[in-house]
Amino acid sequence: MATIDPQPGIMDIALYEGGKAKVDGITNVVKLSSNENPFGPSPAVQDAVVRSVHELHRYPSTDHASLRSAIGEVHGVDPERVICGVGSDEIIHFLCQAYAGPGTEVLHTVHGFGMYRISALAAGASPVEVPERDRVTDVDAILDGCSERTRLVFIANPNNPTGTMIGLAEIERLAEGLPDQCLLVLDGAYADYVEGYDGGARLVEQRENVVMTRTFSKLYGLGGMRVGWGYAPKAVIDVLNRVRGPFNLSNTALAAAEAAVRDTTWAEKCRNDNTRLRMILSEALAEHGVPSDTSTANFVLARFADKEEADACDLYLQSQGLIVRKVGGYKLPNCLRITVGDEPSVRRVAFCIGQFKAGAR
C-alpha cells in the first residue's frame, strides 16, 4: 500500500528538543536547561492537587471560570478576555490554527521561541524569520518583514533564549505599524520575572490587534502541570475557544494553577530570589571573561569565543553534573543558556565556568 502523505509543511517540522535532564554515568545532576523554577510551586499547590484527586471521575470544567477569575483578580485583567491552555504552547497553537493557514505568513525573530515555527508549519502557514539587532527584538526589521500575507507576529518579551526585552513604547509602535489582518502576539512566558511589567495586558485592552500569552511553567513552578493562558480582545477569545478542545485542562491542572496564582507571596519571593541570583550569576560570569546580555528573565545567555569553546564548556559542565542548554538550534552556536537555579547551583555553575576558563577540561 502507498504511504499516506501528510499535509504540506508537516515534514519540515524539526522535532522539538527539550532541555536534557540526565548525563550518562553521572548521578545527582543539577538541571539548568529548561528555565524551571528551582524552588518549585507554592506549597499551597500540593494540597490543591491532593484534593483534586477526589474528582478524577468527573470531567473538568469546560470554561475554566474559576481559574480565569483568579487570574483576573491577581493580574488585574478581565476574566472574559482570558483563555487557558495546555501550557502557553497550546495558546500559540490555537492562534496559528485559527489565524494562519496555507498562503499566509507567521513572523518571528531569528532567535525567537521554537514553537512559533512549529505551530505555523502545523497550520500550513509559512514561518518567516526576521533579524534582531544585537540579540534584541528590532521593531523596524519586523515591520519591514511584514507583507500582505502576514497574519501573526510573535515576539517573546523578555525573549528566550536571549533574555533581552523591549519597552512598551516600542511594542506600541509595532502594534500601530502592522498591516491590517495581522495580530501581534506578545509572548509573556517570562513577564512575571519583570517587576512592574504587565506583559502588554493594557495594550491588549486598548487595541484590537494585540494578544498576550502567559504561563504557569516559569515563575509559578508548574512546568510539569502544563497550564498557560492568553489575554486577547473578546472577538479573538471567541475565535480561539472554537478551536480549543472542551476539556483541554484536567481538574488537577486547574486546581494547581489556581492555588499557584493566588499565592502572591510565594510568587514575589521567587521573583526576588531570581533577580538576586541572576545578578550573582551574570557578575561571576563576567569576572571569568564570559559576557552575557542584560537578562530580565530566569536565565542568562553566556557568550563564549566560538562554538568550539561553548561546546567544550558544555561538556565540562556535564562532567561536573551541571546541565545547561546549547542554543545552536537558535543560531547562537557560541552561547550557552543557563537557568538561574537556587543559590548553591548558581555558585557551582559560576565556579565551574571559572575553572573551565582557567584551563580545566
Contact of 332 with 164, CB cutoff 8 Å: no
- What does the DSSP 8-state code read for residue 85? E
> Among 86-94, 142-150, 252-260, 272-280, which window interacts with ligand PMP (CB under 6 A)?
86-94
DSSP labels for 148-193?
TTEEEEEEESS-TTT-----HHHHHHHHHHSPTT-EEEEE-TTGGG
Q: Which residue is nearest to ligand PMP (CB)?
A: 87
**Contact residue for ligand PMP among 42, 97, 104, 160 (CB under 6 A):** 160
Q: Minimum CB separation from ligand PMP for residue 306, in Å?
A: 25
- Please report, for the chain, how many H helices and E strands are present, in that order: 12, 12
189 binds ligand PMP (CB under 6 A): yes
Q: Closer to ligand PMP at the Cβ: 99 or 193? A: 193
- The burial of 32, by beta-carbon neighbours within 10 Å (0-12 exposed, 13-18 middle, 19 or more buried), is given as buried
Report the half-sphere exposure of 283 (CA within 13 A, side-chain side).
7
Q: Please identify which residue in 38, 41, 87, 221 interacts with ligand PMP, judged by CB under 6 A.
A: 87
298 binds ligand PMP (CB under 6 A): no
- The b/e string for 49-83 (b: 16+ C-beta within 10 A; e otherwise) is beebeeeeeeebbeebeebbebbbeebebebebbb
119 binds ligand PMP (CB under 6 A): no
List 113, 193, 231, 330, residue binding ligand PMP (CB under 6 A): 113
Angle at 247 between CA 242 and CA 248, to 5 degrees: 80
CB closer to ligand PMP, 126 vs 213: 213
Smaller CB distance to ligand PMP: residue 35 or 104? 35
In the chain, the amino acid numbered 303 is R
Least distance in angstroms from the C-beta of 128 to ligand PMP:
18
At 127, list the grid cell.
514561518
Work out which of 32, 48, 156, 261 binds ligand PMP, going by CB under 6 A.
156
Of 89, 105, 198, 258, the one binding ligand PMP (CB under 6 A) is 89
Instruction: Report whether the peptide linkage leading into residue 161 is cis, meaning its omega lies within 30 degrees of zero.
Output: yes
Nearer to ligand PMP, 41 or 223 (CB): 223
Binding track over 211-230 against ligand PMP, x by CB under 6 A: ----x-x-----x----x--
CB of residue 120 vs ligand PMP: minimum separation in angstroms?
A: 14
Distant-in-sequence, close-in-space partners of 205: CB < 8 Å, separation ≥ 6? 78, 81
The binding site for ligand PMP (CB under 6 A) comprises: 35, 87-89, 113, 156, 160, 187, 189, 215, 217, 223, 228
